[in-house]
Chain A
């Protein structure tokens, strides 16, 4: 059989005309499935988890029966965490409420999606790093003050170089986990959009 673009154009014109009409009901669907919508939905869910975690953390010093001094120190770290979380969630909320315009040209549209997603994934990673390091710092202070015997028994016997290597490995592990987590949750959407950006930018 022979095909050519002129024939196809003629047949293309008639295609889809016989399909059933779009009903009023279809306009009532609320949930969109663009990557921005998917990321927003996931971030909203994480926000609730984080809120629950912060609520749980208010009772933790009493559950762990920390000393009065340590409890005070715990709440200093806790409020620092709340401060950072609040700051980042105001930013995420703006991202959540920021609407997009699908009627611009495809380049503008794709680039907007790409940079908006990238920015928010970076913010997400920054918040994760900050929170993890705040609590690593608290655990270090806690160990030095409350569990001094651990320091005496283990760390004092180790050469400083070994301790430095340990710190480096800890930071590395935290970094790798954060990057993998962010990639697993959001990276795949970024990768697919980046592919379309590259296809559009490819010149000749």
Chain B
């Protein structure tokens, strides 16, 4: 294995969670998530020569990952419509000891009702990005990022509440 390839693999494996999370945010079906995951890895590898280290590796990964997800087309069958919440996920469960995984699984289902830009906003917010960083990644003004994020969080809360959770 070439040195560049080995360095790249070490770096993305260290931050592979980012790619997994973007894939789950943008695709709800396991097969489509795998395809998007693969596409992001491919685009990261293609773009790797442009990474000069001027920004953090994770910042660069956010951009390539989100940009790929925003324009990704799954063989003309990409689901763009709202997807009903999975019945297998117990939405109105009053049990306080419900697993963390279930909360996240529910979050991933709920974000499927957001549009592509709203998903990017929530993703960056959950990644602890500041308003300024969100604005820089998306190419919008900081004020716009703040307003859009506020509205998107409200929308997400509404979706979650609508389906029986307290928020």
Interface residues of B in 93-116 (CB under 8 A from A): 93-96, 98, 100, 103-104, 106-107, 115-116
What chain A residues lie within 8 Å of B140 (beta carbons)? 107, 200
What chain B residues lie within 8 Å of A107 (beta carbons)? 138-140
What chain A residues lie within 8 Å of B67 (beta carbons)? 102-104, 106, 109-110
Interface locus among A22-30, A54-62, A83-91, A138-146: A22-30
Flag if A15 contacts B104 (CB, 8 Å). Answer: yes
Interface residues of A in 32-46 (CB under 8 A from B): 32-36, 38
B20 touches which of A4, A15, A33 (Cβ 8 Å)? A15
Flag if A189 contacts B73 (CB, 8 Å). Answer: yes
Flag if B120 contacts A106 (CB, 8 Å). Answer: yes
Q: A1-B165, A27-B45, A103-B51 are in contact. Are A15 and B21 (CB under 8 A)?
A: yes
A103 to B138, CA, bound (A): 11
A96 to B36, CA, bound (A): 22
Nearest A residue to B135, CB-CB: A105
B43 touches which of A7, A32, A110, A196 (Cβ 8 Å)? A32
Flag if A16 contacts B17 (CB, 8 Å). Answer: yes
A-B contacts, 28 of them at CB < 8 A, read: A1-B103, A1-B165, A3-B106, A3-B107, A3-B167, A12-B21, A12-B104, A15-B21, A15-B104, A16-B17, A22-B41, A26-B38, A32-B46, A33-B72, A101-B50, A103-B60, A103-B67, A105-B63, A105-B137, A106-B120, A107-B139, A107-B140, A109-B70, A110-B71, A195-B116, A200-B117, A204-B144, A204-B148
Inter-chain pairs besides A104-B139, A106-B120, A106-B139, 9 sampled, C-beta below 8 Å? A1-B165, A4-B167, A16-B16, A24-B9, A27-B5, A33-B72, A34-B68, A34-B71, A106-B70
